[in-house]
A and B are shown apart, each in its own frame.
Chain A
Amino acid sequence: MNRLLTSFAAEIAGQAIRLFARFITAVRADWQGIEPVPRQRVYFANHTSNGDMPMIWSVLPPALRRQTRPVAAADYWLTSKLRTFAGRDIFKAVLIDRRPEVNDNPMEKIIAAIDEGSSLIIFPEGKRNMGDDLLLPFKAGIYNIGKARPDVDLVPTWVANLNTIMPKGEVIPLPLICTVTFGAPLHVDADENKDAFLARASASLAALAPKVAT
């Protein structure tokens, strides 16, 4: 009974998040390199704001959204009751503890989620990008996923504008238009080493960023 109530509440809250995202940012998906069809995918995205993940999650069509789980930091999402509800019940996140003293073995959890049939949302920069560079250097995780499960599409996903909609430290979001662009899927080539693949993945993601006229 309790489980049922929780999942019902999560459904309502998820709907509210999507409505809010639509109203404030008119968030829109731009399917450049792939079609919105239910294939198993790992969406890897740029990370400038805590709103990135809910935005990607909001633009996915319902059938895709149900099978997609974000990979998120347990030390952020399990710090309060509300965050735990959001992380665990609304987004159904694969929660990973980043604290150095805990050996959480994140790759095992990620691969287990893939083997259950889930698609994932990951942020390969590892933390929010606060600087002027387009992207921070990628962590090795995405390469390891591609190597371990070569059938899964690695989809570059660019979230535009969120750093101005909700910059770090601001409370009121600005209603600007947010676009989530999905690029062509990547796979790790047989003879490709880690650095070469990470460079290629980073370049394919950066290529989706809107060109700003100066």
Chain B
Amino acid sequence: MTETTLDLIMLSLIGCGILVVLTLVGEFLRARQPADTVNPVLETYMLRVQSWWGMVILLSLALIIGRLGVVLLFAFASFAALREFLTLTDKVKADHWALALAFFVVLPLQYLFVGMGWEGILTVFIPVYAFLLLPIVSALRGDAKRFLIRVAETQWALMITVFCVSHVPALITLQIPGYGDRAVLLIAFLVIVVQCGDLLEYFFGRQIGRTKVAPGLSPKTLEGMICGVGCAMLIGALLAWLTPFGILPAMAMAGVASLVGMGGNIVFAAIKRDRGVKDWSHLIPGQGGFVDQLDSVVFAAPVFYHLARFFWT
């Protein structure tokens, strides 16, 4: 067993340990509730912890399996997210072929490129080839009604749910000198700092939040976000040994990823508000959809990928 695998197993066990504690705390608070009352904050917390169990177990398995596991896991997540996204966008019959291509050609090819580690094509395939090809396919059907809106919404869906999501597994393909096979740990680092930042932002926002950053759109507060990003940076420092960055740069990377992720969460809240839905779908019981779960990691991933590639490869 390699050192990387041992590190991953240790991280998984730490994750499970934290979740055991969080679950016990929640169950303890629940037991202290008077009978027949439901505390919505506590229930939201418990649902989050539950979905975390699923995420930790699936992600751990995928990371331990390695490149194939990670690529397949995120390809499936992309598929589910794209399905949620396109369910809500503007489309007409003339877009049928373009959308079918997005699902059955663009998405698998993007993950094939990630799996093969072809950096040159995975970063441009969707923004160049898909974005130019799909509107041609739509236009050939001759329906110009709301054409620009239809094309723009389909492209934004692909950008977010395939291009951005695929940058999480793409981290494994980064060739960082002296880092060897440990690039898989960057995925763990990114997911942990972003998700912990989110959770602590939610916690501090509830406790001390006053100033809403996007009133009427998102419950996020300035105070909560500052604390969340601060905590993400601290966690980044604690986990710096996973990365090739060194302590201070690891803190900076964690802070940037967490902040961008929170921004992504607000953007998704705006899209949901625009479409008049509360959640993206109901695929994860009580939790909404895949996009609800992925939103902050989705936004953080390409930024994290390109910063790491620019400064360390």
Binding site for B on A (CB under 8 A): 26, 28, 161, 164, 167, 170, 172, 174-177, 211, 213
| Complex Cα gap A28–B274 (Å) | 23
| Complex Cα gap A213–B271 (Å) | 11
Are B96 and A170 in touch, CB under 8 angstroms? yes
> Secondary structure of the A side of the interface?
loop
Which segment of B53-61, B80-88, B210-218 sits at the interface?
Answer: B80-88
For the complex formed, measure the closest distance between the CB of A75 and the CB atoms of chain B, giving whole angstroms: 26
Are B93 and A213 in touch, CB under 8 angstroms? no
Are B283 and A26 in touch, CB under 8 angstroms? yes
Are A161 and B87 in touch, CB under 8 angstroms? yes
CB within 8 Å for A174 and B96 given contacts A28-B282, A161-B87: yes
> Secondary structure of the B side of the interface?
helix
| Complex Cα gap A146–B257 (Å) | 60
| Complex Cα gap A211–B88 (Å) | 11
CB within 8 Å for A211 and B100 given contacts A176-B83, A177-B83: no
Find A26's partner among B96, B100, B275, B281 (CB 8 Å cutoff): B281
Known: A26-B80, A176-B83, A213-B274. 10 other contacts (CB 8 A): A164-B93, A170-B96, A172-B96, A172-B100, A174-B99, A175-B79, A176-B87, A177-B83, A177-B87, A211-B276
| Complex Cα gap A45–B104 (Å) | 30
Are A213 and B87 in touch, CB under 8 angstroms? no
Give B65-100 interface residues, CB cut-off 8 Å to A.
79-80, 83-84, 86-87, 91, 93, 96, 99-100
| Complex Cα gap A26–B79 (Å) | 11
Residues of B within 8 A of A177 (CB): 83-84, 87, 281
Q: 25 A-B Cβ contacts within 8 A?
A: A26-B83, A26-B281, A26-B283, A161-B87, A164-B91, A164-B96, A167-B93, A167-B96, A170-B96, A172-B96, A172-B100, A172-B104, A174-B99, A174-B100, A174-B103, A175-B79, A175-B83, A175-B103, A176-B83, A176-B86, A176-B87, A177-B83, A177-B84, A177-B87, A177-B281
Residues of B within 8 A of A26 (CB): 80, 83, 281, 283
| Complex Cα gap A170–B101 (Å) | 13
For the complex formed, measure the closest distance between the CB of B291 and the CB atoms of chain A, giving whole angstroms: 11
How many A-B pairs with Cβ below 8 Å? Answer: 35
For the complex formed, measure the closest distance between the CB of A197 and the CB atoms of chain B, giving whole angstroms: 31
For the complex formed, measure the closest distance between the CB of B54 and the CB atoms of chain A, giving whole angstroms: 17
| Complex Cα gap A175–B161 (Å) | 14
| Complex Cα gap A175–B79 (Å) | 9
Q: Which of B87, B93, B104 has the most CB of A within 10 A?
A: B87
B interface residue count range (under 10 / 10 to 19 / 20 to 34 / 35 or more) = 10 to 19
Residues of A within 8 A of B87 (CB): 161, 176-177
Give B100-118 interface residues, CB cut-off 8 Å to A.
100, 103-104
Residues of A within 8 A of B99 (CB): 174
For the complex formed, measure the closest distance between the CB of A91 and the CB atoms of chain B, giving whole angstroms: 26
Q: Which residue of B lies closest to A160 (CB)?
A: B87
Q: Which residue of A lies closest to B104 (CB)?
A: A172
For the complex formed, measure the closest distance between the CB of A144 and the CB atoms of chain B, giving whole angstroms: 35
The 3 tightest CB contacts between A and B, nearest first, are A177-B87, A213-B276, A176-B87
Residues of A within 8 A of B100 (CB): 172, 174
| Complex Cα gap A172–B86 (Å) | 16
Residues of A within 8 A of B274 (CB): 213
Residues of A within 8 A of B91 (CB): 164
Residues of B within 8 A of A211 (CB): 276
Map CB proximity to A onto B144-157 as digits: 1 under 8 Å, 0 otherwise.
00000000000000
| Complex Cα gap A161–B84 (Å) | 12
Residues of A within 8 A of B93 (CB): 164, 167, 170
| Complex Cα gap A161–B281 (Å) | 13
Are B276 and A174 in touch, CB under 8 angstroms? no
| Complex Cα gap A87–B10 (Å) | 55
Find A174's partner among B80, B86, B281, B283 (CB 8 Å cutoff): B86
Residues of B within 8 A of A170 (CB): 93, 96
Residues of A within 8 A of B276 (CB): 211, 213
Map CB proximity to A onto B245-279 as digits: 1 under 8 Å, 0 otherwise.
00000000000000000000000000000111000
